[in-house]
């Protein structure tokens, strides 16, 4: 179907070059399947069942159960993002700077790619099989050492159980993102700092960490949103009873609970607000920290 | 005892002996260049002085203190790197202040010193800029200021000019030299550019495969190279084979013409064939009064370079290269032309092996 | 960092990652009392629901990949060629799915495209499948777009386009015959990632009530003991396979380019 090469550009009446028409399919898709659905929820959060404007839905979020769900979700996301960043950073730094054999690097990155995508239902199964009531480690500790995890207060189907499970995809994600950033730290910077009299700690505090700060922050925000929206792992691990926001919303959508459908909008709206806030915080801090970038 | 002493330094990487029995004493305030081809171990020597590499054996002392086992951050050394190694997240002023800050120098004193250093490198207004807002030459000057701010005992420069373009390279090297003289700081400068080394050094160390082949002032290195490697590496050289006539008087003959050369080796005997070398500027076009020998030569190539014309010619079985000054009233010879070349034995360098 | 600390951190990390894998592997073999066996796998593979849901998800993954390619390749190409000023906007949109949780998006779908709406997609199975495909496309969008855009950066889009135009090629020909083959590696690696995401996805499929592999695994997990770890092993193998293929195409292409 060869046609003649396009001549001088046509123009839309509004003065918008016709080139923008090329974005039409993408824009239509984004509007229909990302933006409108989100708008629907934002608007719905401020609508009474009869369609009139109201703050009642948001006010209705202020119950003990919902407040605690949000709080647990935020704590969970924050903790897994923080630990994920810290541990992932440690592992990446061990490989990049710690003098480990070069051969480790490739497999580690490949494995991280796999593990960061091994989330959801099967991940829950893997941890149940390992740390659940009859899991590999649980049994091993009980049979070999007489240690009863349950009696020690550990329960996989709890906040800390969830933290440990979520780390399985959070840490690799951090490794994937931060390794290139660590590679970007020039050897000369460390050496220049050293001859100027700086200790290793001073170099990290005054040079390396400030340079890495945007990447660290961005990854943290990403990990936070990642954990905050995760449903499948928690659901497969604990069923509908665990009180975190995505599970509550899941149950709400399924129609299992709560009479007021608009409360679901409010719940979802709250999730958007929190992940958006985390990201705005990130963008704001990043802009502040990147004055020195081109 | 010199101010900075490197004695019998050795460095082995795996199977590879990169620096071999390197001994050098540097006086306070001296500007020394390490000159040599790529991979000969210049950087390695410098990094041992800085403390980034531990010598396999040997010792380094600064001002009488043995620093061989000291970490880089305890050596009070300044260093400039080839790539601009400024900290990108700090402003120019913060970069310059870095060494003072980690030492715990008070804020006021720091600010004063930074101002002083920025004035010294001629960038007094640039303190608030970030490195990416500076040109390469400016960045390297800031790097110099940063290295000098904590008043180091020794300044190390590892090809700091090689990433810059030719013009900036020349002006910055003169600036570095001027500042160095001004402060009287002991300096080691690494380069593989012989012209650069010649023009700014008090002394030059010519390195070859991890060994210091010759140490001396630029004039000495250029005019009296002691090894064939040095003679070849520093400047251009024309070599001729001569046969010894009278070892005692330094008499030899070149293509049947007698020459008197300085410094024949002790073991030379009548009839030995030896290589001697002559710099391009020791060969003259035409019959010069007072020249010891005049050789017929065939011009092969003519390079007009402005004030100087470099000629390639063939004489006495050797290819040689010579310089002659440009003169507007005298057009240069053309290839294929037969000319005469004058030379004298006193300009010759007798090469050891 | 001392080498010892580095090794300690690294090995502890490895331990954390290996134990759950070991755990699921071991548990999946425990079905028969007193000995290890592959019974759990046999049961899983004998379950027609396994194959149905697996096939369904595979089909959706294929549809998602096609949709993603059709959407992303022309858009990324067009932005590079004609609309560099639109780049921030397009990139912002492609990153939205990382910020807006999938559960929120699908909740919006359910309310927006219900039977009484202007586009009653949830009214029929086909419509819901389409909706689910779109949902999966949004999930894959950040990865697909970045992958393709990076791929486009390595080729000279403008020159290729002008050369093709001077030979009389139309836009469709240019995209299908010139641009697509040149970013094939990027497209493939985006496709394998999409496959990995879709095969394990639970939330969207469950809320749209479609018989996908994710909800099937969850259902089995709620009712059985030994099959779930077997499923986890299978899912892990799928993910590993996808990532392995991704690496393979990338490495293969580097080879090709080195040869060229
Ligand atoms: N860390 C190292 N491990 C192994 N070999 C090394 C190491 N550093 C340097 N070498 C080797 O030591 C030799 C000398 O290297 P060095 O960097 O000192 O050379 P150089 O004279 O500075 O060269 P250039 O002019 O190219 O900078 C080279 O053959 C190099 O390959
Ligand atoms: Mg070097």
Taking the CB of residue B27, how many other CB atoms lie within 10 A of it? 12
The residue contributing the CA closest to ligand 1 atom 13 is: B39
Angle between helices A136-145 and C3-28 (to 10 degrees): 100
Q: Please state, in angstroms and rounded to a whole number, the distance separating the CA atoms of residues C153 and B16.
A: 42
Q: Residue A26 has what pLDDT?
A: 94
Query: How many CB atoms neighbour CB B121 within 10 A?
Result: 23
Domain that holds residue A271: 64-293
Are B102 and A189 in contact (CB < 8 Å)? no
Q: Do chains A and B meet with 3 or more Cβ pairs nearer than 8 Å?
A: yes
Residue A59 lies in a domain: no
Q: Compute the C-alpha angle C65/C71/C77, nearest 5°.
A: 120
In order of A270, B103, B114, B142, the CA distances from B149 in angstroms are 54, 11, 7, 10
Q: With respect to residue A49, please indicate whether it lies within any of the assigned structural domains.
A: no
Average pLDDT over residues B240-256: 80
- CB distance A127 to C208 below 8 Å: no
Rounded to whole angstroms, the Cα distance separating A89 from A83 reads 9
What 8-state DSSP symbol labels residue A147? Answer: -
Task: Please determine, for residue A294, whether its predicted confidence score (pLDDT) is greater than 60.
Answer: no
Residue A25, Cβ density class (10 Å: 0-12 exposed, 13-18 middle, ≥19 buried) = middle
Q: Which residues pair with B304 in a beta bridge?
A: B309
DSSP for A51-70, please give it. S-B-SHHHHHT-SHHHHHHH
- Tell me how far apart the alpha carbons of residues B109 and B183 are, in angstroms, rounded to a whole number: 19
Is the pLDDT higher at B32 or at B334?
Answer: B32
pLDDT at C256: 62
Write the pLDDT tens digit of every residue in B70-124.
Answer: 889 888 999 998 887 899 999 999 999 999 999 888 999 999 999 999 998 888 8
pLDDT at B333 over 90: no
Q: Which residue CA neighbors atom 2 of ligand 1 most closely?
A: B13
- Residue spans of the domains in chain C: they are 46-259
To the nearest whole Å, the CA of A215 is away from the closest chain C CA by 16
Tokens standing for C75? 């858009």
Who among A22, A104, A225 is closest to C82 (CB)?
A: A22
- Say if residues A85 and A174 touch (Cβ distance below 8 Å): yes
C103 touches chain A (CB under 8 A): yes
Handedness of CA A154, A160, A166, A172 (dihedral sign): negative
Sort residue C163 into left (φ over 0), alpha (ψ -120 to 50) or beta: alpha
Average pLDDT over residues C223-240: 87
Q: What are the contacts of A254-258 at 24+ separation with CB within 8 A?
A: A254/C207
Provide the CATH number for the domain formed by C46-259 in this structure: 1.10.3720.10
Q: What is the pLDDT of residue A2?
A: 42
CB B279 within 8 A of CB B225: no
A106 vs A166, residue with greater confidence? A166
Q: How far apart are CA A176 and CA A99, in angstroms?
A: 19
3-state secondary structure of B342: strand
Owner of token pair 């992932």: A88
The separation between the first and the last C-alpha atoms of chain A, rounded to the nearest angstrom, is 44
Among chain A residues, CA nearest to C197: A117
Indicate whether A78 pLDDT > 90. yes
pLDDT of A221 over the 80 cut: yes
Strand order in the sheet with B4-13: B16-26, B4-13, B57-62, B65-66
Position in ligand 1 atom list of the atom nearest CA B41: 18
- Let me know: does B345 contact B292? Beta carbons within 8 Å: yes
- Cβ pair A251, A240 in contact under 8 A: yes
Average pLDDT over residues A54-83: 89
Does pLDDT of A3 surpass 80? no
C124 falls in which pLDDT band (50, 70, 90)? confident
In this predicted structure, what is the pLDDT of residue A272? 92
Is the pLDDT assigned to residue B64 strictly greater than 70? yes
Distance from CA of B49 to the nearest CA of A (A): 11
Strands (E) located in B92-174: 154-158
Between the CA of C5 and the centroid of ligand 1 the distance, in Å, is 29
Q: How far is ligand 1, taken at its centre, from the CA of residue B42, in Å?
A: 8
- For an interface test with A, the pick among B49, B89, B99, B150 (most A C-beta atoms closer than 10 Å) comes out as B89
Walk me through the domains of chain B, giving residue ranges and CATH numbers. 4-232 (3.40.50.300), 236-350 (2.40.50.100)
CA distance B159 to B176: 12
Answer for the pair B327, B299: CB distance below 8 angstroms, yes or no: no
Is residue B190 within 8 Å of residue B46, measured between CB atoms? yes
| Mutation to probe ligand 1, out of B44, B189, B190 (largest number of atoms < 8 A from CB) | B44
Cα distance between residue C163 and residue A5, in whole Å: 10
Q: How far is C260 from chain A (nearest CA, A)?
A: 25
Residue A7 has a pLDDT of 42
Assess whether pLDDT exceeds 70 at residue A5: no
Top mean-pLDDT range of B52-56, B242-246, C114-118: B52-56
Q: Which residue is closest in CA terms to ligand 1's atom 28?
A: B39
pLDDT tens for each residue of C81-122: 888 888 888 988 998 898 899 999 999 999 889 878 788 888
Using the predicted structure, report yes or no on whether residue A8 has a pLDDT greater than 70: no
**By C-alpha distance, which of A84, A85, A104 is closest to A94?**
A104
pLDDT of residue A6: 44
Please give, one letter per residue, the 3-state secondary structure of A169-202: HHHHHHHHHHHHHHHCCCHHHHHHHHHCCCCHHH
Chain centre distance of CA B257: 36
Give the contacts of C201 (CB within 8 A, at least 6 positions apart): A120, A232, C57, C102, C136, C139, C212, C214
pLDDT computed for residue C1 by the predictor: 53
pLDDT of C129 reads 93
Does some domain include residue A50? no
Tokens at C124, concatenated: 């029929």
Which atom, in ligand 1's list, is nearest to the CA of B159? 27
CA-nearest of C187, C199, C193 to C242 is C193
Q: pLDDT at position B238, please?
A: 83
pLDDT at C71 over 70: yes
* Atom number, ligand 1, closest to the C-alpha of residue B19: 14
Most confident range (mean pLDDT) of A49-58, A100-109, B36-45, C243-252 is B36-45
Distance C60 CA to ligand 2 centre (A): 57
Say yes or no to pLDDT of C259 above 80: no
Pair of tokens at residue A94: 């061990």
Q: Are strands B57-62 and B4-13 parallel, antiparallel or unpaired?
A: antiparallel
Q: Which residues line ligand 1 (CB under 6 A)?
A: B 13, 16, 18, 36, 38-44, 192
If one counts the domains in chain A, the total is 1
pLDDT-based confidence at residue A11 (cuts at 50, 70, 90): very low
Local structure of A25: helix, strand or coil: helix
Could you give phi then psi for residue C175, rounded to 5 degrees?
-65, -45
* Tokens, residue B159: 């090809």
Q: Tell me whether residues C97 and A95 touch, CB distance under 8 A.
A: no
Contact C191, C69 (CB under 8 A): yes
Residues paired with B327 in a beta bridge: B330
CA distances C165 to A7, C84, C149, Å, are: 11, 20, 22
Instruction: State the count of interchain CB pairs (< 8 A) between A and B.
Output: 84
When mean pLDDT is compared over A48-52, B86-90, B164-168, the highest value belongs to B86-90
**A38 lies in some domain:** no
Helices (H) and strands (E) in chain C, counts: 13, 0
Ligand nearest to the CA of B45: 1
How large is the average pLDDT for residues A4-27?
A: 64
> pLDDT value at position B273?
82
pLDDT at B188: 94
Q: How confident is the model at residue C173, as a pLDDT?
A: 86
Is the pLDDT confidence value at B316 over 80? no
Q: How high is the pLDDT of residue A12?
A: 47
The Cβ of residue B348 has, within 10 Å, a number of other Cβ atoms equal to: 26
pLDDT at residue A9 greater than cutoff 60 = no
A217 chain-B contacts, CB cut-off 8 A: none
pLDDT of residue A293: 65
A156: domain CATH number is 1.10.3720.10
């Amino acid at each position: 179907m060869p046609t003649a090469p396009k001549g001088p550009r046509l123009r839309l009446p509004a003065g918008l070059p016709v080139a923008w028409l090329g974005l039409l399919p993408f824009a239509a898709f984004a509007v229909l399947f990302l933006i409108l659905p989100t708008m629907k929820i934002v608007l719905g959060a401020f609508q009474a069942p009869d369609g009139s404007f109201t703050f009642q839905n948001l006010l209705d979020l202020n119950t003990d159960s919902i407040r605690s769900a949000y709080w647990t979700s935020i704590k969970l996301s924050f903790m897994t993002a923080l630990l994920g960043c810290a541990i992932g950073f440690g592992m990446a730094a061990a490989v990049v700077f710690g003098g480990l054999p070069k051969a480790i690097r490739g497999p580690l990155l490949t494995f991280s790619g796999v593990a960061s995508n091994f989330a959801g239902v099967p991940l829950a199964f893997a941890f149940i099989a390992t740390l659940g009531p009859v899991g590999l480690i649980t049994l091993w500790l009980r049979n070999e050492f007489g240690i009863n995890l349950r009696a020690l207060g550990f329960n996989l189907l709890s906040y800390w159980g969830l933290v440990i499970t979520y780390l399985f995809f959070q840490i690799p994600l951090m490794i994937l993102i931060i390794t290139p950033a660590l590679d970007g730290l020039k050897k000369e910077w460390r050496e220049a700092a050293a001859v100027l009299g700086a200790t290793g700690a001073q170099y990290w505090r005054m040079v390396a960490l400030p340079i890495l700060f945007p990447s660290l922050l961005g990854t943290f925000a990403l990990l936070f949103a990642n954990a905050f929206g995760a449903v499948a792992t928690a659901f497969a691990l604990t069923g509908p009873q665990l009180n975190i926001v995505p599970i509550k919303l899941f149950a709400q959508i399924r129609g299992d609970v709560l009479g007021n459908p608009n409360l679901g909008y409010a719940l979802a709206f709250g999730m958007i607000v929190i992940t958006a806030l985390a990201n705005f915080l990130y963008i704001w801090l990043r802009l502040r920290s990147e004055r020195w970038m081109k | 005892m010199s101010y900075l002493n490197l004695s019998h330094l050795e460095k082995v990487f795996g199977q590879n002996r990169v620096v071999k029995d390197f001994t050098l004493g540097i006086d306070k305030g001296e500007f020394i260049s390490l000159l040599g081809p790529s991979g000969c171990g210049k950087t390695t020597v410098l990094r041992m002085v800085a403390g980034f590499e531990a010598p396999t054996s040997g010792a380094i002392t600064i001002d009488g203190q043995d620093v061989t086992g000291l970490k880089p951050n305890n050596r009070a050394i300044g260093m400039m790197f080839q790539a601009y190694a400024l900290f990108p997240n700090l402003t120019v002023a913060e970069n310059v202040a870095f060494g003072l800050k980690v030492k715990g120098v008070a804020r006021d004193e720091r600010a004063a010193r930074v101002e002083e250093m920025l004035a010294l490198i001629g960038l007094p207004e640039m303190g608030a800029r970030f490195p990416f807002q500076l040109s390469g030459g400016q960045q390297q000057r800031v790097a110099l200021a940063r290295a000098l701010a904590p008043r180091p005992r020794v300044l190390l420069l590892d090809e700091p000019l090689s990433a810059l373009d030719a013009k900036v390279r020349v002006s910055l090297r003169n600036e570095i030299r001027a500042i160095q003289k001004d402060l009287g700081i002991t300096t080691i400068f690494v380069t593989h550019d012989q012209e650069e080394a010649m023009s700014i050094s008090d002394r030059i160390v010519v390195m070859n495969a991890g060994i210091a082949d010759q140490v001396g002032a630029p004039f000495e290195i250029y005019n009296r190279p002691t090894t064939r490697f040095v003679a070849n590496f520093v400047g251009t050289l024309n070599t001729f084979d001569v046969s010894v006539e009278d070892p005692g008087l330094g008499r030899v003959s070149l293509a049947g013409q007698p020459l008197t050369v300085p410094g024949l080796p002790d073991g030379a005997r009548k009839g030995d064939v030896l290589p001697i070398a002559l710099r391009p500027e020791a060969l003259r076009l035409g019959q010069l009064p007072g020249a010891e020998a005049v050789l017929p030569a065939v011009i092969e190539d003519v390079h007009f370079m402005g004030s100087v014309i470099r000629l390639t010619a063939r004489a006495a079985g050797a290819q040689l290269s010579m310089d002659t000054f440009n003169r507007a009233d005298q057009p240069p010879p053309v290839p294929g032309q037969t000319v005469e070349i004058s030379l004298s034995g006193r300009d010759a360098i007798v090469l050891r092996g | 960092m001392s080498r010892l600390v580095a090794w300690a951190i690294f090995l502890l990390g490895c331990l954390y990652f290996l134990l759950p894998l070991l755990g699921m592997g071991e548990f999946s073999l425990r079905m028969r009392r007193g000995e290890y066996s592959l019974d759990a796998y046999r049961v899983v593979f004998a379950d027609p629901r396994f194959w149905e849901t697996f096939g369904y998800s595979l089909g959706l993954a294929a549809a998602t990949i096609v949709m993603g390619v059709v959407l992303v390749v022309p858009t990324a190409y067009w932005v590079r060629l004609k609309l560099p000023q639109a780049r921030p906007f397009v990139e912002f949109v492609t990153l939205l799915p990382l910020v807006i949780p999938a559960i929120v998006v699908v909740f919006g779908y359910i309310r927006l495209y219900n039977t009484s709406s202007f586009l009653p997609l949830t009214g029929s199975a086909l419509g819901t499948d389409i909706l689910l495909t779109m949902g999966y496309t949004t999930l894959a969008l950040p990865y697909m777009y970045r992958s393709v855009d990076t791929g486009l950066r390595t080729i000279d889009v403008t020159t290729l386009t002008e050369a093709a135009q001077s030979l009389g090629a139309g836009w469709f020909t240019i995209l299908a015959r010139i641009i697509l083959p040149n970013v094939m590696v990027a497209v493939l690696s985006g496709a394998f990632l999409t496959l990995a995401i879709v095969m394990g996805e639970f939330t969207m499929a469950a809320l749209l009530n479609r018989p996908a592999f994710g909800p099937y695994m969850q259902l089995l997990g709620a009712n059985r003991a030994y099959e779930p770890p077997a499923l986890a092993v299978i899912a892990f193998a799928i993910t590993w396979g996808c990532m392995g293929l991704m690496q393979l195409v990338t490495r293969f292409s580097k080879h090709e380019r080195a040869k060229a």
